[in-house]
Amino acid sequence: MKVFCAALTGALLLAGMAHAQASADPFIWLEDVDAPRSMDWVASQNARSAKRLETDPRYATFLAEARAIFTAKDRIPWPTFRAGGVDNLWQDDTHVHGVWRHAALATYRSAEPVWETLLDLDALSKAEGKNWIWKGATCLRPAQTVCLVELSNGGGDAVEIREFDTVKKAFVEGGFRLAEGKQNADWLDADTLVVDRIWTPGDETPSGYAYIAKTLTRDGQVKEIYRGQKTDVAASVLVLRGAGGKAEGLIARRGLTFFENEFLLLEGGKTLTVPLPKKAEYQAYIDGQVVFQLKDAWGGYGAGALIAYDLEALKAGTAKAELIFQPGPRQAITDVYDTHDRLVVNLLDEVKGAVDAYDRRDGKWTARRLALPKDATFTVRSASGESDQLFVAAEGFLDPTSLWLADAASGKAWQVKALPARFNA
């Protein structure tokens, strides 16, 4: 009997090994995303899909309709708060790359905003012989007139970063300029940046991202402030900025995997681990509180909980988590933002959208729901760090998308833009 059991066990092991070999992923080689074989396979699949779509008799009609909607003159110019007004990147059939432009808030709210062009990306692309794609701007607070503009040649992850003066409407001569690469940069002060990038060949993770962060001054001085592990997915440093725009702290984020992180406070040349589970995400910094969201249950809090740590207590090693919001079984947080004095939480509540503004007083967080349309989902398009205003887009199945200007302090909201109806509801 023992001989039979042993033989059966051996047979099962061999069968299991054979099954494991047979079920091994035949496309594992695609994990090498930059390999010529992988790129050739992607190109062939794209060609197959394009042929199937383009030979459909409905294709030309659908393409024309989609292009008309995408380039329509009456679409909403999505705003970003800056310098007391709003910025917008506008693309149309004339400006394929786009125009970065600015308008006063009052005129933006009117039917015919008065726009001031800051940077014409089509003209820049032509002048420099590049295919510049807009990737955003990080502007120095509180004035927000000098910005770090990110441009991608072709739209990939790698960007070139240049300092831009929005008053002069020109790149700053002799200003900050970082050559193309997978990188992030933020202002530490007017003359210093915090940058994570691939500083020298080979200083990159297996995913092709940086794991070393340094400060960079106007006179070219470079100082390493954090080094992750080469085996990380990526590592970067977040600047915690107070209401007046001054940097009040630095937190390093180690991407252990695509879903797991470690956060460390950089203080006085030391790194202090922030007490968090690996599945947590940084969300905001407001009123001296560092806000995180838990992706798994931890420390008595359920999955999805929004918690905060006091920055000074973190520096002293005495921090205790404060609960801001614990989603119920039919709730889910979709995004978190901060205005000057409020933490803004965008969520789904019973499959319906809602936006709550949280105020912290005496260590307690209280919520006020914004007066937005019912039966819609919401996207916070921009939140002002200089006031408690925010722009919120509302979308429904039957109602055209609309844009609302909301006040996080009072909870009031006003519709400022709306798309025309594209079909008979």
**Looking at residue 336, what is its pLDDT?**
98
Q: In whole angstroms, how far apart are CA 97 and each of 73, 132, 142, 181, 303?
A: 16, 7, 29, 20, 41
Residue 208, pLDDT > 80, answer yes
Two tokens, residue 289: 């509180």
Nearest to 345 by CA among 310, 307, 316: 307
Residue 210, pLDDT > 50, answer yes
Residues 6+ apart with CB under 8 A from 396: 373, 375, 376, 377
- Name the more confident of 9 and 89: 89
Give the mean pLDDT of the chain. Answer: 93
Q: Regarding beta strands 377-383 and 364-369, do their DSSP bridges make them parallel or antiparallel, or are they unpaired? A: unpaired
Residue 365, pLDDT > 90, answer yes
Res. 15 pLDDT band, cuts 50 70 90: very low
DSSP codes of every residue in 84-116: TEEEEEE--SS-SS-EEEEEEHHHHTSSS---E
Res. 227 pLDDT band, cuts 50 70 90: very high
- pLDDT tens, residue by residue, 288-332: 999 999 999 999 999 999 999 999 999 999 999 999 999 999 999
What CA–CA distance (Å, rounded) separates 253 from 380?
24
Q: Residue length, the chain? A: 425
For residue 275, say if its preceding peptide bond is cis, omega within 30 degrees of 0.
no
If you ran DSSP here, which 8-state letter would residue 301 be given? B
**Looking at residue 424, what is its pLDDT?**
81
Residue 4, pLDDT > 70, answer no
- 83-96 average pLDDT score: 96
Please tell me the pTM assigned to this model.
Answer: 0.87
Residues 6+ apart with CB under 8 A from 122: 94, 95, 96, 97, 98, 99
H helix or E strand, kind and range, residue 241? strand 234-241
Res. 20 pLDDT band, cuts 50 70 90: very low
Residue 2, pLDDT > 60, answer no
**Looking at residue 308, what is its pLDDT?**
98
Residue 255, pLDDT > 80, answer yes
What CA–CA distance (Å, rounded) separates 111 from 319?
49
Q: Is the CB of residue 296 less than 8 Å from the CB of residue 318?
A: no
Res. 193 pLDDT band, cuts 50 70 90: very high
Could you tell me the end-to-end alpha-carbon distance of the chain, in angstroms, rounded to an integer? 75
**Looking at residue 23, what is its pLDDT?**
59
Residue 11, pLDDT > 70, answer no
Residue 32, pLDDT > 90, answer no
If you ran DSSP here, which 8-state letter would residue 63 be given? H
Residue 17, pLDDT > 70, answer no
Res. 13 pLDDT band, cuts 50 70 90: very low
- pLDDT tens, residue by residue, 129-159: 999 999 999 999 999 999 999 999 999 999 9
- pLDDT tens, residue by residue, 271-284: 999 999 999 999 99
Q: Is the CB of residue 387 less than 8 Å from the CB of residue 379?
A: no
Res. 67 pLDDT band, cuts 50 70 90: confident
Residue 12, pLDDT > 80, answer no
- 370-384 average pLDDT score: 97
Distance of CA 106 to the CA centre of its chain: 28
Nearest to 333 by CA among 322, 317, 319, 349: 349
What CA–CA distance (Å, rounded) separates 194 from 136?
17
Nearest to 145 by CA among 207, 85, 194, 98: 85
**Looking at residue 21, what is its pLDDT?**
46
Res. 243 pLDDT band, cuts 50 70 90: confident
Two tokens, residue 271: 């790194």
**Looking at residue 14, what is its pLDDT?**
43
**Looking at residue 274, what is its pLDDT?**
98
Strands (E), 256-401: 261-267, 270-273, 280-286, 289-294, 306-310, 322-325, 331-338, 343-349, 352-361, 364-369, 377-383, 389-395
Torsion of CA 407, 140, 103, 74, to 10 degrees: -80
- 150-174 average pLDDT score: 97
How many other β-carbons are positioned within 10 Å of the β-carbon of residue 359?
A: 16
What CA–CA distance (Å, rounded) separates 255 from 235?
6
From the number of C-beta atoms within 10 Å of its C-beta (0-12, 13-18, 19+), residue 389 rates as middle
What CA–CA distance (Å, rounded) separates 116 from 168?
12
Burial 360-373 (b: 16+ CB within 10 A, else e): beeeebeeeebebb
- HSE at residue 51, side-chain half, CA atoms within 13 A, is 6
What are the φ and ψ backbone dihedral angles of 15, each rounded to 5 degrees? -65, -40
